[in-house]
Chain A
Amino acid sequence: MEELISQLKENIIEVLNLEEMSPNDIDNDAPLFGEGLGLDSIDALELIVMMEKEYGIKLKNPAEGKEIFKSINVMAHYIDEHRTK
């Protein structure tokens, strides 16, 4: 799980262009949207693409993202359970 989390953080930094952030700056339990990293609706769509591209997880309904992208920990658990690659 540790490895998945650190890889996930690196992926997020890359696809969302969080240029000045390092994996250590992202708290595993902090909310990704709203206050946390200040991500927006396009970032959420970009994360949906990343889920499919990196982990083979297809989210049919973008609204599902709301629950899954709550925090790095929540996301990592979801990926761990559902990944196909």
Chain B
Amino acid sequence: MYILADNITSPLGNTTSQNYLTVKAGRSALRQYQADDISTESYTAARFTQEQWDEMAINGLTRFEALAACSAQRAIRNAGIDITRDDVVFILSTTKANIENLTTGDEPQEAFTPSTAAKHIAAYLRFTSTPIVVCNACISGLAAIITANRLLESKAYKYAAVCGADVLSRFTFSGFQSLKALSADECRPFDIERIGLNLGEAAATIVLSDQPSEFHIAKGAIRNDAFHISSPSKNADGAFLALQDIGAKEISEDLAFVNAHGTATLFNDQMEAVALSRAGLSHVPTNSLKSYFGHTMGAAGVLETIISLEALKDNIVLASRGFEENGTSVDVNIISENRPTTNKAFIKMISGFGGGNAAILVTQKVADTPEIAHTQQCHIHTSHSITINPHRATLDGQMLDINDTRKNLLVEIYKRFIGDYPKFYKMDPLSRLGFVASELLLRNVKEKVESIILFNNSSSVIADKNYWATAIDKDNSFPSPAHFVYTLPNIVTGEIAMRNGIHGETSFYIIPTKDKNVIDKIIYSFTLQESFSSAITGWIDYPDDEHFSAELRIIRKS
């Protein structure tokens, strides 16, 4: 589908062009900070100033919500569309939304879940359709663009406003610190001296339309490594497959550049270099924007797509700031100074926790070429289904015989029906629920299932609270990296993918209510893709021990 308008709101400015021009001039939003509200040690990050926060403040909205609302509003104004129409959808990409509400008091859990934030932002902006949150860890931004693209292709909506946003708080910062992923100095993507990433806060919005215009999200793909929930695949399996899916090799000569994730951690950049090499793109000019904005988490995919788009318009390949010497084991063409290009397409790639990898191909139309109409029809059927709630588990309509249905039901199911995967005990409740449900669902299934698309309302609230309990006491803080990883709800899709060797798409959506209409639209638009063959899909929510529920099914192309 087509890009109608966009906005970036970052510490570098409130408009796309302010942000682009600053980056083009080689300047960065990264600054050195002394120990403060989010860190007990000095650090480097890209943060808004208090003055900037004051400018964005909106009565009744949290600072996360206000940031996202400001960016979305600016983009929508540029697009000139009426968002109160029911064929306009608001898609929010975020990893932790209002999580700082958990860190500051005893608010009810609705106060910090992403679905509440999405509701507030959508209501403030006067959207009337149900907002959708894409919560796929670091790949959320691209996953949201891909979701929007598919929803428009399936004609579920005519316009989509995709807003990616995250803010820095002690919750997120301490988590990345516990994973030893942060660099104290400015990050150096792909460089031999890279030692880690810097975090950043920003919001970025793209408005997509089904009406042809100059810039086209031509293709998009999401693929899982099925390797580990926090370490990228050594062979770059998922990232390579995503590049392959969007036909990267075939169009490599037409690419102006590849904009990599390039977080500047040892493992990510190595993995991406391998993916580019396997996909036949080693020679294509490649950059990372992390040393300008830091890793902006839920905003990253959207923000970096917009900056790349501006560079494409400007016929420039932007320098990968902080790069001097290739520090990966394969050849990769990292660009260290701005240079001109005449090519009219780029690839944006991204990878994240839960084993997810995504890539999109953006093209600029040089002449009016007729578009291929998407008239493909897809018939799907459900082959198996399972429901689990605190009272019972039912597989294909048959109630399972479980003795203890009150206490530790999931452990009972694990011991009775599974028993050979001790990693189960390391999982958070949401992942345990998804794991046992998928194990039961797949137990009599011989044919492989290719992808996983799950939905819920309460994100990863239990894991959020469990992690925060390890970090909250400033004087006695021992943040647990294992707990932190599970504060991303899409980890459940990664656990299922790993267990079953699923390398297809894994996606996680959060919606304000269990709205069947919205869920069906997302699933239908997913099944329209040529590559679709089968998926585990459905509802999986764990707000607390008394109200959890899994309703999963296997769908296949008929």
Among the listed stretches B72-80, B303-311, B477-485, which one makes contact with chain A, having 4 or more residues with CB under 8 Å of it? Answer: B477-485
- Asked if A43 meets B478 with Cβ closer than 8 Å, knowing A17-B426, A19-B425, A20-B425, the reply is no
Q: Does A4 touch B at the CB level, under 8 Å? A: no
Q: Is the CB–CB distance between A46 and B482 below 8 Å?
A: yes
Contact A20 B422 (CB under 8 A): yes
Of B422, B425, B479, B482, which contacts A42 at CB under 8 A?
A: B482
Interface size on B, residues (CB 8 A): 16
A40 (CB) vs chain B CBs: closest residue? B228
Q: How far is the CA of A49 from the CA of B229 in the complex (A)?
A: 19
Total A-B Cβ pairs within 8 A = 40
Given the complex, which residues of A lie within 8 Å of B180, measured CB to CB?
A: 45, 48, 62
The interface residues of chain B lying within 8 Å CB-to-CB of A20 are 422, 425
Q: Which of A17, A19, A40, A52 contacts B478 (CB 8 A)?
A: A52
CA distance A43 to B426 in the complex (A): 10
A30 contacts chain B at the CB level, 8 A cutoff: no
The answer to whether A45 and B425 touch across the interface, beta carbons within 8 angstroms, is no
Taking CB atoms, residues of chain B closer than 8 Å to A38 are: 422
Minimum CB–CB distance from B458 to chain A (whole Å) comes to 23
Q: Are A42 and B230 in contact (CB under 8 A)?
A: yes
Q: Which of A13-70 contact B (CB under 8 A)?
A: 16-20, 38, 40-43, 45-46, 48-49, 52-53, 62
Closest Cβ of chain B to A80, distance in Å, is 21
Of chain B, the residue at the smallest CB distance from A62 is B180
Tell me whether B178 and A49 are in contact (CB under 8 A).
yes
The chain B residue with its CB closest to the CB of A61 is B180
Cβ contact within 8 Å between B425 and A18: yes
Q: Note all chain A residues with C-beta closer than 8 A to B231.
A: 40-41
Q: Which of B229, B426, B481 contacts A45 (CB 8 A)?
A: B481
Bound-complex Cα distance A18 to B425 (A): 7
Which chain A residues border B482 with CB–CB below 8 Å? 16-17, 42-43, 45-46
Chain A residues touching B, range: 10 to 19
Query: What residue in chain A is nearest B419 (Cβ atoms)?
Result: A20
**Min distance, Cβ B431 to any Cβ of chain A, angstroms:** 12
Interface 1/0s, chain B 452-485, versus A by CB < 8 A?
Answer: 0000000000000000000000000011111001
Is the Cβ of A46 less than 8 Å from the Cβ of B425?
A: no
B481 touches A42 (CB 8 A): yes
Contacting A at CB under 8 A, from B470-505, are: 478-482, 485
- Known interface pairs A18-B422, A45-B482; 13 further A-B residue pairs with C-beta atoms within 8 A, sorted by A's residue number: A19-B422, A19-B425, A20-B422, A20-B425, A38-B422, A41-B230, A42-B482, A45-B179, A45-B481, A46-B482, A48-B180, A49-B178, A49-B480
22 A-B pairs, CB-CB below 8 angstroms? A16-B426, A16-B482, A17-B425, A17-B426, A17-B482, A19-B425, A20-B422, A38-B422, A40-B231, A41-B228, A41-B230, A41-B231, A42-B229, A42-B485, A43-B482, A45-B482, A46-B481, A48-B180, A49-B178, A49-B481, A52-B478, A62-B180
